[in-house]
Structure 1
């Protein structure tokens, strides 16, 4: 028999079902302490979507009560439903937000046939995340998205209990940060036009913070820079044929990039982690560049990959000196990076095993598990480098692969990536839904709770109740 606790997705750590139920029609008042008033509008808007009228009350014994519980972790939450009352507790504001997201899922399935006779089953749920890092990367460099679309993505993330928004802001096809340092890049947009002003970026960062999501901004160097080098060829190995890699032997390159990153840090003062890219740089220009060859010899390096490694280590030290943590894409040059540098593993499932002895933390984004630009099935158009990435494939992925005992202290968590070479703005939500639900359970729920067929039952029940309509309305609320 259906129970409204069975509608929660991602599945909670522990559920206890009790006899009895609370009629939804009896849910008329809610109480939120003064320091949690931010949740009042959330509750009323959610209720209004379902045609309910739930009003705030000063009575701490209202029908629905929200409160903080310092005994829970910041992202953990607890819910108890009795025949005449509902208690929701969170260890912090994030935990309360996630609990309300779970409550909205229970509510929509309770109301699947309308308000007449709708009930919320009695019981308790206690929940906390498996991973502290539950990320989503959005590529705004290839195809640009308006800040409204970016905010919608962030709100969708929050609803699915994700907490880290990695924002890929530069690449060869676009430089999306409006800057007086590089004014010639204002028209750099090979696939779609658009830039974010510093105020736009700060607005999105503030919005993300309200939704318990940290932003990790990325400027991708030393490769993936064709557009910038076309506009500023003095930083290329050969100004006549700039290519897409910065000249590593030009001492002005590093100083120029430090100014660029200093500006990024000023725009995102609350971002603890800064991504410097670091992947897929080709060595051909360096190997034919007198300055790069001289720098390689002067440094005693055996090849250009070692020179690249030295260059990127210096850039990570600059980030550390500014009080932030540097992050790089894995397989950057096959070299070792300081232990305080986070490695984002995207190509090799064994890379975490390689860097763990050095002390590096790892974010797991291996492409054939978490690249959302890949087709959900092969009836979609796709590129030659892509694999099929079905919901089941995402759901069954595990950031530890089979090495949890060896990587427990290394893996921070997973991060799904939506690259946009082939994804214009209007397809962003199509690419995220419904697969984001499968990813959220992979990122949040205990491994022992994962059950593909159980997930399908919950997902299909939510979809039948109109959950996607609720999400599309909800993510544009504010």
Structure 2
């Protein structure tokens, strides 16, 4: 058994349909030749050398005698991210900014690789702020993985990637202001170095993507409170993760942290400094905090001090020449409107502290980060804690703020309309390996919807385009072919005994592998890997000792197969399921891979299994998602013809937490061809997104 991860090719030899570009441009006229082409160009001149160099690397552009000449020109008349492409014999790309040039070159690469021989493209985004956030503070993500995220963002023309660099658990920002704070990191990894972040920033900027740094305070700052309790803790308060934001000394330290952040992320027009979920009970018992209340005048309370802190930090960001970004977290008040600079951009995510409609009414520039459909939360042990179907994300209206009612995703949120500046899709708490599984198509769906709201061709067309171009991007990231011996035919990420991993690199390259979740170097990695227990194999290609492309992470899980009558049977769901959570997973014979389960949205829904023929049965087991110990409420019915059904289990009032052994239901012996599980409710958040590992059927 093997898995193909791609070879680095001279040109991407693919024949595309008329709707193959991603995102769909605003306007395009072209003729095409239906034959594979190699990307061969001669760069005549360029006003954007950095973006041109990245284009040549990513599309393996080779010079050749007689090849078309490419010219890149700066055109101030075009919008900030806009571009225009004209080519027949020669090719000209015009843009007013390096970002626009990068987007134009991204489209040009797709045009050439899909057999276009002449075209005129005029393009610019409908939505200016398009941002994906990655939580690198709670779960470590290597620089290599972050580069892959940049490639996906560039493919979807997503302008920004926000790096959530600090939180309670870890501090990933290199700092001379709080030196050595990363020694407290719970994952025991050091902070990124300044050189690493600057190299990542250059890599992203060359491809049109801008990195936005986020440091989190005053809440979500337990690591600061641990670093220097006497300075940062609120004396007399039960809070362990909110710094003393009334202290002038603490505020100075925060300003200094913002200054060193700005110095590292020079390309970013924004700095995000958190500002949400600050819990500060009895803060007024702290003498310094009490003094801050007194400074603000009679009647000032702790909330006013909080607003004053947000305004103070926002002013500092403005002084640094950046635009302040904050999470919705301060309450609505006249003082907030006066104290917080008008330049501040508020990311509305919960609609609780300061509803998005009120923020717009009060003149704030607002970013839509509503839970439905944007939030992607992988809060262990709730795998895919919130993860709306990909089709729902692709088809969403960016002007609608979708909130969570904590039992369900909100279906009828109000349309905000004018006043929204853009959207942000955050990836919270997810493991690095799951980022690679969940995020690629979600980034593209998000980017496509915001780039061209009316011109996209529909979900099925999007899925075809996304798979096509993601494969092309992966060939650049991973110039090697991976062979897996010992994996299950049903799922190449699972094995029952052992797995042997080998890789064949492209000519002139070497391969190194590691099994300790670290990116190997040319000196410390092996050429092959063998696992007898669940683990992660990381693979990196090298040329002359230097890395080529990015590291591949293979998460391989040792599982136990449980033979039963439903194993291998066809399964399907009446509600939408993404491929990652396909219905067939409930009959694959294993239930001990915590990341392998069926999930749909919304309930109620039917999950059906067809055994192919009638068999004698007397016991059914439903293995619901058990990592969080949550209960699933459902009914089980069986049938011989798929038309008439007999109920064999009623768990519609079940409140017993799920276990790895599953819910067991016995019934009198009878012939069964079809099994139907009617999902009524999941007793976890959100209740309308059930998860089932396995449906098993027995005759004993």
Among 449, 454, 467, the residue aligned to 1:447: 454
CA pair 182-242 structure 1, distance change in 2 beyond 3 A: farther
- Structure 1 SS opposite 2:262: helix
Aligned to 2:376: 372
Out of 83, 87, 104, the position equivalent to 1:77 is 83
Pairing of 1:25-424 with structure 2 (within 5 A)? 25=37, 28-38=40-50, 41-42=53-54, 44-46=56-58, 48=60, 54-55=62-63, 62-68=67-73, 70=75, 71-80=77-86, 82=88, 87-108=92-113, 110=114, 119-120=115-116, 122-234=118-230, 235-238=232-235, 243-286=240-283, 288-293=285-290, 295-299=292-296, 300-335=298-333, 336=336, 337-348=340-351, 351-373=355-377, 382=382, 386-401=385-400, 407-408=417-418, 410-420=419-429, 423-424=430-431
- Indicate if the aligned counterparts of 2:400 and 2:415 stay in contact, CA closer than 8 A: no
- The secondary structure found in structure 2 opposite 1:220 is strand
Name the CA distance, whole Å, in 2 between partners of 1:213 and 1:287. Answer: 43
Higher share in strand: 2
Tell me what 1:15 maps to. Answer: 28
Hey, what's the Cα distance between the residues in 1 that align with 2:391 and 2:440? 14
Flag structure 1 segments of 5+ consecutive residues without an equivalent. 111-118
Alpha carbons 2:47, 2:74 under 8 Å: kept: no
After superposition, the Cα gap between the structure-2 partners of 1:288 and 1:476, relative to the gap in structure 1 and judged at 3 Å, is: farther
Offset from partner CA, 1:225-283 (integer Å, 9 cap, x none): 11110121122113897611112333322122222222223333443321110000113
Q: CA deviation at 1:374?
A: 5.1
CA distance in 1, matches of 2:415, 2:138: 38
Contact 2:100 2:208 in 1 (8 A): no
Q: Note the residue ranges of structure 2 that are not aligned, 5 or more in a row.
A: 1-14, 402-412, 480-546, 551-700
CA distance in 2, matches of 1:394, 1:99: 25
Change (3 A) 1:404 1:210: farther
Q: CA deviation at 1:329?
A: 0.4
SS at match of 1:216: strand
Instruction: Quote the offset at 1:427 in angstroms.
Output: 2.7
Q: RMSD between aligned alpha carbons?
A: 3.5
Q: Secondary structure at the match of 2:259?
A: helix
Match of residue 472, structure 2, among 459, 462, 467? 467
The separation in 1 between residues aligned to 2:274 and 2:59, in whole angstroms, is: 43
Mapped contact 1:136–1:166 kept (Cα < 8 A): yes
Structure 1 CA distance for aligned equivalents of residues 213 and 191 of structure 2: 14
CA deviation after TM superposition for structure 1 residue 381, in Å: 6.5
CA distance in 1, matches of 2:44, 2:34: 20
Tell me the SS of whatever aligns to 2:243. coil
Residue 28 and residue 169 in structure 1: after superposition, are their counterparts in 2 closer, same or farther (change >3 A)? closer
Deviation at 1:434, TM superposition (A): 1.8
Return the alpha-carbon distance in structure 2 between the equivalents of residues 370 and 76 of structure 1: 25
Contact preservation (8 Å) 1:170, 1:218: yes
Q: 1:31 to 1:204 in 2, by over 3 A?
A: closer
Do the aligned partners of 2:214 and 2:273 also contact (CA within 8 Å) in 1? yes
Higher helix share: 1
TM-score of the aligned structures, taking structure 1 as reference length: 0.81
Query: Whole-Å Cα distance in 2 between the matches of residues 450 and 289 of structure 1?
Result: 59
1:22–1:37 distance in 2 versus 1, CA, 3 Å: farther
